């Protein structure tokens, strides 16, 4: 381990003092002091370093010795999501105080690029970000649209309580002033009764340029969109939206409208999927171009799903594989025209608080990781790694106990079913993952407010 800057300074101070001492009082006393100063400068290595330093033993652990992990930034307050403006600049959302922070060349800058007044109880707050650039990294003036998803306080109800909406706005990023400005509202979604299951992750489809946004059931229940037969008409809960990113308008090629002429008038014209309890993770397969997402189960079955157009994920009738329940698609689920039920491609029987899913669209960590999937959780601070199968229709497992597509509980004396998919530990709580423009994997942690970078060690 390298001595920290702090211990180097003590060493220099001790040596300078020692030199003066030798000159003043002669060799015998100085010889004694050499021993004393040696003790003085070695002491700090066993004490906490100055702010900003991080000893290797405090870093999260990875199960692949060919990779290394380093701290990029710390001091973030309950960060939920991050997005790269370019190779040196990351925007990070702080859930509770509504600040969007800028991490520039691994430094967290103090002034926020914007502060938004958000409702922040439990799962409400500043939740999701997506960036769409009309230029490239060398042409910053060409325009950078930044989309934010947050729970906005929009007024007071008659009873005096706050009226809340989950909304997506589009802003312009000013590269010179480092601020977000010119908000345009794109989506205006329910926020009640809550306060759980607001979803919040958003992304711009890399292959179609559309805005995708996930919202959970906001604790409502009882709607057709969460499979209550005869329940409330579609009301923008428990869905993944797919809309025009500049207007929020429905799209003619969305799956649930059957290309009927009335698609634009129907709520269904803005949906890509439904039957979703809540989700904190979405990404597109860079090979197949399919959308994948994570979904949070109640006490059991956190899921990874491939979101084919029109997916009904089954909530609140089924989580996990439908074959493990008594539910029948035809009689128990609400199936709109154009809908399909699909089982998850993987589930954790015991919920982990699954969060972000990231396809690493880079070979910078080695071929094994390229175009495969990292997933984070918020309950255990674990990072999971999955290999996608050859046809890109599911996952490939080393442990045959996962061929039933579920990590099940095991007796105390057996190895865990997650042991072969567990890639990293000690992250505290993970809220976001990103492939950086440099091809490295970036990990955002919630309670300790840190960003880590995972890269390949230089080969010997
Ligand atoms: Ca499901
Ligand atoms: Ca990706
Ligand atoms: Ca199993
Ligand atoms: Ca992400």
Helix (H) / strand (E) containing 331: helix 329-332
Determine the angle formed by the axes of helices 27-42 and 5-25, rounding to 10 degrees: 170
- Measure 116 CA to ligand 3 centroid, in angstroms: 44
What per-residue confidence (pLDDT) applies to 19? 42
- Max mean pLDDT range (17-21, 55-59, 291-295): 291-295
Each residue of 171-181: pLDDT tens digit? 999 999 999 99
pLDDT band at residue 134 using 50, 70 and 90 as cut-offs: confident
| Contact (CB, 8 A) for 320 and 303 | yes
| Contact (CB, 8 A) for 338 and 258 | yes
E-only strand ranges, 313-368: 340-341, 346-350, 354-359
Q: Is the pLDDT of residue 260 over 70?
A: no
* Mean pLDDT computed over 416-422: 97
User: What are the residue boundaries of the structural domains of the chain, listed by start?
Assistant: 5-46, 64-456
What per-residue confidence (pLDDT) applies to 265? 66
Q: How many whole angstroms separate alpha carbon 424 and alpha carbon 441?
A: 12
Ligand nearest the Cα of residue 82 is 4
Each residue of 177-217: pLDDT tens digit? 999 999 999 999 999 999 999 999 999 999 999 999 999 99
Q: Does domain 64-456 have CATH number 2.120.10.30?
A: yes
- Measure 253 CA to ligand 4 centroid, in angstroms: 26
The pair of structure tokens assigned to 453 is: 């970078």
Neighbours of ion ligand 1 (CB under 5 A): 313-314
Question: How much is the mean pLDDT over the chain?
Answer: 88
Rounded to 5 degrees, what are φ and ψ at 405?
65, 20
* Mean pLDDT computed over 255-278: 82
Q: Is the pLDDT of residue 262 over 80?
A: no
- Measure 413 CA to ligand 1 centroid, in angstroms: 31
Q: Which residues of 316-336 are buried (b: 16+ CB within 10 A; e: fewer)?
A: bbbbbbbebeeeeeeebbbeb
């Amino acid at each position: 381990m390298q001595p920290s800057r702090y211990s180097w300074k003590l060493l220099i101070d001790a040596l300078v003092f020692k030199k003066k001492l030798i000159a003043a009082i002669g060799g015998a006393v100085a010889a004694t002091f050499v021993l004393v100063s040696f003790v003085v400068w070695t002491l700090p290595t066993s004490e906490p370093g100055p702010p900003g330093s991080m000893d290797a033993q405090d870093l999260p652990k990875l199960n692949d010795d060919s990779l290394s992990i380093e701290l990029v930034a710390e001091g973030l307050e309950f960060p939920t999501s991050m997005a790269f403006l370019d190779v040196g600049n990351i925007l990070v959302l702080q859930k509770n105080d509504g600040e969007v922070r800028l991490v520039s060349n691994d430094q967290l800058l103090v002034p926020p690029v914007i502060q938004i007044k958000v409702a922040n109880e439990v799962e409400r707050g500043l939740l999701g970000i997506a960036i769409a650039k009309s230029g490239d990294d060398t042409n910053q003036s060409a325009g950078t649209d930044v989309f934010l998803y947050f729970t906005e306080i929009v007024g007071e109800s008659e009873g005096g309580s706050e009226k809340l909406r989950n909304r997506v706005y589009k802003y312009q990023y000013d590269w010179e002033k480092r601020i977000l400005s010119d908000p345009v509202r794109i989506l205006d979604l329910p926020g009640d009764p809550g306060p759980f299951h607001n979803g919040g992750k958003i992304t711009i489809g890399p292959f179609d340029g559309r805005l995708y946004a996930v919202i959970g059931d906001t604790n409502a229940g009882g709607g057709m969109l969460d499979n209550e037969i005869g329940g409330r008409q579609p009301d923008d809960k428990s869905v993944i939206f797919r809309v025009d990113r500049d207007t929020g308008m429905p799209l003619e090629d969305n799956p649930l409208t059957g290309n009927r002429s009335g698609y634009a008038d129907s709520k269904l014209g803005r949906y890509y999927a439904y039957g979703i309890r809540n989700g904190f993770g979405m990404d597109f397969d860079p090979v197949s171009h399919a959308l994948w997402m994570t979904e949070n189960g109640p006490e059991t079955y956190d899921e990874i799903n491939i979101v084919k157009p029109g997916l009904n994920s089954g909530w609140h009738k089924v989580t996990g594989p439908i074959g493990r329940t008594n539910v029948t698609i035809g009689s128990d689920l609400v199936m709109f025209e154009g809908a399909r039920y699909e089982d998850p491609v993987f589930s954790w029987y015991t919920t982990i608080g699954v969060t972000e899913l990231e396809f690493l669209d880079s070979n910078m960590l080695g071929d094994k990781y390229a175009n495969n999937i990292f997933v984070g959780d918020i309950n255990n601070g674990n990072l999971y790694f999955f290999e996608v199968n050859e046809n890109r229709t599911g996952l490939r497992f080393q442990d045959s106990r996962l061929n039933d597509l579920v990590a099940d509980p095991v007796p105390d004396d057996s190895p865990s079913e997650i042991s072969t998919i567990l890639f990293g530990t000690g992250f505290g709580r993970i809220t976001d993952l990103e492939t950086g423009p440099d091809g490295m994997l970036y990990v955002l942690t919630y309670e300790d407010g840190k960003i880590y970078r995972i890269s390949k060690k230089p080969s010997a």
